[in-house]
Amino acid sequence: MNQDFRLDNVGLINRNKKISFKFNGKKYFGYEGDTLASALLANGVHLIGRSFKYHRPRGFFGAGVDEPYAIVQLYRNNETEPNVKATEQELFEGLEATSVNCWPSVNFDIGAINNLLKVFLPAGFYYKTFMWPKSFWYKVYEPFIRKAAGLGVASIKHDKERYEHKYEYCDILIAGSGPSGLASAYAAAKNGARVILAEDKPRFGGTLLTSEVNIGNQTGKEWAENIIAELKEMPNVIVRNRSQVFGYYDHNMLVMSEKLSDHLPKTKKYHPKQRLWYIRAKEVLISSGSIERPLVFGNNDTPGVMLSSAAKEYLKVYGVLVGKKPLIFTNNDSGYETAIEFKKNGIEPIILDTRKDPKSEIITEAIDLGIQIKFSYVVVAAKGYKKVKSAEIAKISDNKSELGTLENIDCDCICVSGFWTPTIHLASQSGNKTKFNKDIDAFVPGVSKQNETTLGAANGTFTLEETLKNSFNMGHELSKKITNIDNKVLSPLVTEKKSTQHDKFWCVPLPKGKTYKRFLDFQNDVAVSDIEIALKEGYRSIEHVKRYTTLGMATDQGKTSNLNGLQLVSNIENKIVPEVGHTTFRPPYTPVTIGAIVGRETGKHSKPTRKSPMHSWHAKNNAVFVDAGVWLRPRYYKQGSETLFEGSKREAKNVRKNVGICDVTTLGKIDIKGPDAAELLNRVYTNAWLKLPIGKARYGVMLREDGIVMDDGTTTRISENHYHMTTTTAQAANILSHLEYYLQLVWPELNVNVVSTTEQWAGASLAGPKSRSVLAKLFPDIDVSNDGLPFMGYREGNLFGVKARIFRISFSGELAYEINVGSDNGNFMWEKIMEVGKEFAIQPYGTEALSTLRIEMGHVAGSELDGRTIPYDNSLEGLMSKNKDFIGKRSLNRKAFIAEDRQKVVGVVPLDKQTSIPEGSHLVKDANAPLPNPKLGYISASCWSVEHDNPFSLAILKDGKNMIGQKLFAMSPLKNKTIPVEIVSSHYVDPKGERVRS
Amino acid sequence: MLHIKCPHCGMRSQNEFAYGGDATVKRPELNKEVSDQDWDNFIYNRKSLRGKHKELWHHISGCRQWIKVERDTATHEIFKTVKANEEI
Ligand SMILES: [Zn+2]
């Protein structure tokens, strides 16, 4: 294998394991431990994509999370993922990736013609260009933006990978395993604290992997390896790599995304691809380090221009040279460390230092090594289109405003260092008001808001000795508070080279007559000139400048660009940076996949599925199920090729003619006990409850305090102080909370207990003229005659050895009974009823027939009791007691509620007795009236009346009381239907209610 | 996600609770004359406070007790939680 840019003996990669991969269709090789970026660079590939707006060639700028533009479309195991950073994606066998933002190819990009023609899209481009004409947006602008600017393509396939959520509690969460993370984790763990240490990279150690330091008698890297090894063995420590703590939420809740399988060709069976951790930590130590700042000069986005820290990481971790003729452009000592690494590996770097005569140990070492250094020098512009070929450089005056003669210097990469920006995102997310530190020209955390402490470089501490000392102390101090153990680990001796003051200069002026683009934000193509335009156009707030220019937006959220943008705004505005302030940091710190956020809650797991104990019987008997809240209920039992319409009609007819059985297990059931139970019912229901005899049921309506109907149902008095309440399926949970609210907070003096028994009882409704005959056979020892068990009566019985409750209540309007047995016996009960009912032509019926039966009876249900109607609207005003107070009563005398022409439920029949009226249709007087046609009411529920064999609907109609007999139109623009209708009574079947009492 | 100390169960995550509104609202007594204004205030009129707020939470996936919580609506800081029958 010929890898021109790979060093022989340097790096942490596994050279025994070769890995093949494809980039833009071409095959390459790398090693285990490479990232896609390091492997491509080892192969000399620098051109990886095109920029967002101008489609300028893009290479690698960073080596990890800081990367603004090396974003690829990844293909793995027949799936594809957009927005993958090549600098973070670990190499695996068979990896395929393609460039984004370029069409037709990365080498020849049509969008770049914009660039050639100098049709540069200025700041506010989106606002100025794509706003009008309005009609252009959907047809022209949006498709154009989508095609030209997309950062990749999301897969439209179902994601078969598994994602997990995990909840964890710990004493101390430590974000970042660099020197401060390791030291504080070690100190805290040794002191007995439960510690979670999270590292976003595959390797632990942070900067210790690349810096030339000694801790005790070990190198930094050895020390890190030993600490990690020891931490992993400790039972009170959880250590995770490939895990990014991306969000700091309320009450010290942090969320971490762990990537378990993204680095593998394929996720192992039964393993998750990613895991989202919700971590509640007593204390949080933020050791997230810092990110190097770019220096800004002409064409600083050319492939081959990159952060000097990234060049050092490629060299020391991956054994990769990012160039063989490197130019190091720096305003501080960090650039020297990179230069020294090049030099040690036989490469001759040239350093351009913006400073005049800096003195430090590192600079001395570079000079001693014979590295060529030009002080007071700057890069004016990078030369080369798809790759740096040379640089235009110049001497700069002491006041940094005048450039000397332009010189050309050959180079194949430019490594820039503009000093360091602490990564304060997590601290800021926690609510920490950050402060500007003039010594480092960057923001650092201020006073802690939650229990968070920032350590090391993230706190602006750039020397290892101080970092370790502080971190050992903090780990010990915080853990001592929690564990009360005082087991102190001593901070080891540190050997590191001292550096000197950085230069505040970072933006190279344009030479006269040159119009080089100097980029601030590489991901969004925001240049110095864009910020200048935005400010000229009157934008002042940094939040507005950000949105107008798109500075610091998109997936990298300005990790490298924010501070330079702020510096520029403050320079132009003659303010200091702290006055300008930084934009708000919001989670997530790095992009998180939708899969990880959703976790296991996809498809049928997106909500619980509740099944009645008779579910398997229904399934065996061809039930077609329907979602009823979280329940699955039979909609109808399909016979042969029956449609829903045919099947439900058959079932409903059989109830009216013979007898039907319906699973009503889903009804909410609440057990109410206590000496004041009747008093509670009397207050929450609108009708009178104090005199209900034992063994009797009563229908009741509950209101909200604002007078709106909340629910209805029957409640039965089982014994002296014991009641059984039923609620509608939908309101079951709310009604229990409602009762608890009044019992615990409003009327705590009432001695009552309430508990949900919905799941404890299986329920079957037996309805139809022959239901009594079935019941008699089921309970031969009970007198089920009309006198023995009258309407609204209740008995306890023995159903073939099983204890049962029998309620004579009806939802269908027919003679009907509801039988409850313990859930375990639900199926037994059902089968017995079917067996006994056979001779009476019993048939099961589903929710569709159930609806039909109640609609033609004019029995209001969920579609009328929809949270907008009052008792009068539902013709329930007869149930409003005049002799007592109850919840919501005081609201019923509101003006609108007692208006003469108040809406009321009515029946609606199409004049042709044929056309079914779509639910939701509006009732209007004149079908041809000009729009908006005044709406008189709406169709709340529709069915095919089996009693009359024609369509029938319920409607809530204005002045419904006086509208019976009127002819109106039901209009459904959605279904494109206008149906002439007649308004009739809502009680379409058995208006006197004789059948239920028969 | 908030961390709420249920006076019955201890520290629990917010997803076990349901929010229940202003804890200082008193329901007018039953069978008493209530003016339109007082009834409106009870039903509809709520302060949208920025700062310390006394509110109700229902430990719906826990002990099912309603509790009173004093919380800063801007910072989410929780100062105090008490049982339903205690004053906050
Ligand atoms: Zn509780």
DSSP string, A610-677: B--TTHHHHHHTTEEEEEETTEEEEEEE--TT--HHHHHHHHHHHHHHS-EEEE-TTSEEEEEESTTH
Q: Which residue has the higher pLDDT, A146 or A947?
A: A947
Contact: A250, B1; criterion CB under 8 Å: yes
Q: Is the pLDDT of residue A863 over 60?
A: yes
Domain A669-757+876-888 CATH class label? alpha beta
**B84 touching A, CB under 8 A?**
yes
For A279-294, what is the mean pLDDT? Answer: 97
Burial class of residue A115 (count of CB atoms within 10 Å of its CB; 0-12, 13-18, 19+): buried
pTM attached to this predicted model:
0.89
pLDDT of amino acid A770:
98
Closest in B1, B31, B85 to A885, CB measured: B31
pLDDT of amino acid A903:
97
CATH 3.10.20.440: which residues of chain A? Answer: 14-148
Give A693's DSSP letter.
P
Q: Which residue of A has its CA nearest to B77?
A: A251
A294-418: CATH topology: FAD/NAD(P)-binding domain (3.50.50)
Q: Which of A817-821, A894-898, A906-910 has the lowest mean pLDDT?
A: A894-898
Q: List C-alpha distances in Å: A158 to A94, A161, A162.
A: 22, 9, 11
For A953-962, what is the mean pLDDT? Answer: 97
**At a CB cut-off of 8 Å and minimum separation 6, what does A286 contact?**
A175, A176, A426, A427, A445, A452, A453, A454, A455, A458
pLDDT of amino acid A121:
57
Q: Which residue of B has its CA nearest to A280?
A: B3
- Between CA A416 and CA A393 the distance in angstroms is 14
Listed residue (A460, A495, A497, A466) closest to A333, CA to CA: A497
For A862-874, what is the mean pLDDT? Answer: 96
pLDDT tens, A746-793? Answer: 999 999 999 999 999 999 999 999 999 999 999 999 999 999 999 999
pLDDT of amino acid A567:
83
Residue A488 banded pLDDT, cuts 50, 70, 90: very high
For A813-828, what is the mean pLDDT? Answer: 97
Nearest-CA distance from A164 to chain B in Å? 18
Residue A118 banded pLDDT, cuts 50, 70, 90: very low
Closest in B34, B60, B66 to A890, CB measured: B34
- Between CA A26 and CA A16 the distance in angstroms is 23
Helix A644-657 and helix A847-857, axial crossing angle in degrees, nearest 10:
60
Residue B16 banded pLDDT, cuts 50, 70, 90: very high
Residue entry with tokens 């997590």:
A426
**B2 touching A, CB under 8 A?**
yes
Sheet of A305-307: strand order equals: A305-307, A413-417, A326-330, A350-353, A372-375
The dihedrals phi and psi of A654, each to the nearest 5 degrees, come to -65, -30
What percentage of chain A carries pLDDT values higher than 70? 94
pLDDT of amino acid A133:
61
For A687-713, what is the mean pLDDT? Answer: 97
Give the number of C-alpha atoms closer than 13 A to the C-alpha of residue A944, restricted to the C-beta side. 17
Closest in B3, B39, B64 to A740, CB measured: B64
Q: Is the pLDDT of residue A151 over 60?
A: yes
- Max CA distance (Å), chain A: 115
pLDDT of amino acid A109:
62
pLDDT of amino acid A106:
65
Q: Which residue has the higher pLDDT, A793 or A583?
A: A793
* Residue A734: Cβ within 10 Å count: 14
A899-998: CATH topology: Elongation Factor Tu (Ef-tu); domain 3 (2.40.30)
For A971-979, what is the mean pLDDT? Answer: 95
Architecture of the domain spanning A513-573: Orthogonal Bundle (1.10)
A163-290+422-495: CATH topology: FAD/NAD(P)-binding domain (3.50.50)
Q: Is the pLDDT of residue A117 over 80?
A: no
Distance of CA A996 to the CA centre of its chain: 51
Nearest-CA distance from A511 to chain B in Å? 50
Separation of B57 CA from ligand 1 center, angstroms? 10
pLDDT tens, A642-691? Answer: 999 999 999 999 999 999 999 999 999 999 999 999 999 999 999 999 99
Nearest-CA distance from B28 to chain A in Å? 10
pLDDT of amino acid A546:
83
Q: Is the pLDDT of residue A143 over 70?
A: no
Q: Which of A548-552, A854-858, A985-989, B35-39 has the lowest mean pLDDT?
A: A548-552
Interface residues of chain A, partner chain B, Cβ below 8 Å: 167, 249-253, 278, 280, 431, 449, 683, 705-706, 737, 740-741, 744-746, 748, 884-885, 890-891
Closest in B34, B78, B84 to A744, CB measured: B84
For A881-889, what is the mean pLDDT? Answer: 97
pLDDT of amino acid A147:
57
Give A858's DSSP letter.
T
CATH 3.30.70.1400: which residues of chain A? Answer: 669-757+876-888
Contact: A740, B85; criterion CB under 8 Å: no
Task: Find the angle CA(A800)-CA(A806)-CA(A812) to the nearest 5 degrees.
Answer: 120
Burial class of residue B88 (count of CB atoms within 10 Å of its CB; 0-12, 13-18, 19+): middle
Closest in B20, B75, B78 to A431, CB measured: B75
What percentage of chain A carries pLDDT values higher than 90? 83
pLDDT of amino acid A574:
76
Give the number of C-alpha atoms closer than 13 A to the C-alpha of residue A917, restricted to the C-beta side. 34
Contact A941, A953 (CB under 8 A): yes
Residues of B in contact with A891 (CB under 8 A): 39, 43
Q: Which of A257-266, A525-534, A855-864 has the lowest mean pLDDT?
A: A525-534
Separation of B59 CA from ligand 1 center, angstroms? 5
A14-148: CATH topology: Ubiquitin-like (UB roll) (3.10.20)
The dihedrals phi and psi of A475, each to the nearest 5 degrees, come to -60, -40
Size of interface A-B (CB pairs under 8 A): 54
This complex has an ipTM of 0.98
- Between CA A85 and CA B63 the distance in angstroms is 47
Listed residue (A608, B53, B79) closest to B20, CA to CA: B53
Task: Find the angle CA(B7)-CA(B9)-CA(B13) to the nearest 5 degrees.
Answer: 100
- Domains for chain B: give ranges and CATH numbers: 3-24+37-83 (3.30.2270.10)
Residue A2 banded pLDDT, cuts 50, 70, 90: low
Nearest-CA distance from A97 to chain B in Å? 37
Residues of A in contact with B46 (CB under 8 A): none
Residue A177 banded pLDDT, cuts 50, 70, 90: very high
pLDDT of amino acid A549:
82
pLDDT of amino acid A618:
98
**B25 touching A, CB under 8 A?**
no
pLDDT of amino acid A113:
55
* Residue A163: Cβ within 10 Å count: 22
For A863-878, what is the mean pLDDT? Answer: 96
Residues of B in contact with A249 (CB under 8 A): 1
Mean confidence (pLDDT) of chain A: 93
For A427-446, what is the mean pLDDT? Answer: 93
Residues of B in contact with A705 (CB under 8 A): 27, 42-43
- Between CA A317 and CA A210 the distance in angstroms is 7
- Between CA B39 and CA B22 the distance in angstroms is 15
**At a CB cut-off of 8 Å and minimum separation 6, what does A784 contact?**
A772, A775, A776
**At a CB cut-off of 8 Å and minimum separation 6, what does A843 contact?**
A637, A650, A651, A654, A658, A660, A661
pLDDT of amino acid A119:
45
Separation of A353 CA from ligand 1 center, angstroms? 64
Residue A50 banded pLDDT, cuts 50, 70, 90: confident
Q: Which residue of B has its CA nearest to A706?
A: B43
pLDDT tens, A349-371? Answer: 999 999 999 999 999 999 999 99
Residue A535 banded pLDDT, cuts 50, 70, 90: confident
Q: Is the pLDDT of residue A149 over 70?
A: no
Distance of CA B66 to the CA centre of its chain: 8
**B37 touching A, CB under 8 A?**
no
Closest in A253, A737, A746 to B27, CB measured: A746
Residues of B in contact with A278 (CB under 8 A): 1
